Amino acid sequence: MLRKLLSWGWSPFLITVLAVVGAIFEWPVEVLGPVLVIILVIGLVMAATAAREKRLEQLALRLNELGGHFNRRFMGDSSLSIFVVIRTLLTSDNARVWAWARECEVAQRIFNTWGSSFATRLESDIRGRRFSAYLRTSLNELWLLSTHYYEFVEQFSEVAEKVELPPETIDLYNRFAVEYNAFIQDFRDSIAELREFARTEIEPPSVNFAKELRGKPLPVEEKRQERKPPPSRHEGGYITG
């Protein structure tokens, strides 16, 4: 507690001590005044620098959390990965859709390696406390990673518009879209805050939300009109021999 008080309040403390000592020993005001002003300015500059470093640390930790969350939830074999959703199309009878889904398996391995490497580097930079040095680079890389990832989200949406998908695939994609959009909103907020420190040209709207899908309604069968049996010719009478 004392250490924190001295680190933040040494300037007012020193100014008070010098002012009291100067009053006791009757130091000239024209000498003591400039000294106190210089100490005050130095203290304010150091306090502003410390506050900036603290804010940089908070933003770096938040960026680290976003990068780690993206890697855990939307990479690998997570059920919320767009590549896992695309993999369900390997059972499609459409040859072009099947071929595209097969190609995406290669892209998945590349993205898994990239995401894992990025998360590891983020952790290393956090431990090294090189906040100002890597913050801009890490922000740009996470933006680049999410932008290329979104290309597959967009491609899947285009396929869904042209091909009728199984309800299970649509449900799996929509669950992915809900959590992915929550991540994108957090990323947009972080970009808006980081622009002041990271000096990046990235704009928050440049990261896109995933479109949720609506299942195509099943064709409604026309109700068949029940045919009533014809009335009996002897209804209401008696049969006579």
Each of the 241 residues of the chain gets a pLDDT tens digit; together they read: 545 545 556 677 777 887 787 788 778 888 778 888 888 888 777 777 777 778 888 888 888 899 999 999 999 888 899 999 999 999 989 999 999 999 999 999 999 999 999 999 888 877 777 666 778 888 999 999 999 999 999 999 999 999 999 999 999 999 999 999 999 999 999 998 888 777 778 899 999 999 999 755 444 444 444 455 555 554 444 444 4
Res 223: pLDDT: 46
Amino acid 237: pLDDT? 46
- Return the pLDDT at 68: 92
Task: Tell me if residue 214 falls in helix, strand or coil.
Answer: coil
Task: Tell me the two tokens of residue 60.
Answer: 């770096």
By CB atoms closer than 10 A (0-12, 13-18, 19+), residue 199 is exposed
State the pTM of this model: 0.74
Within 8 A by CB and 6+ apart from 184, the residues are 146, 207, 208, 209, 210
At 221 the pLDDT is 45
Q: What is the pLDDT of residue 135?
A: 83
pLDDT of 216 reads 53
CA distances from 168 to 5, 109, 128, 211, 215 (A): 59, 24, 45, 17, 10
- Predicted local confidence at residue 4, as pLDDT: 53
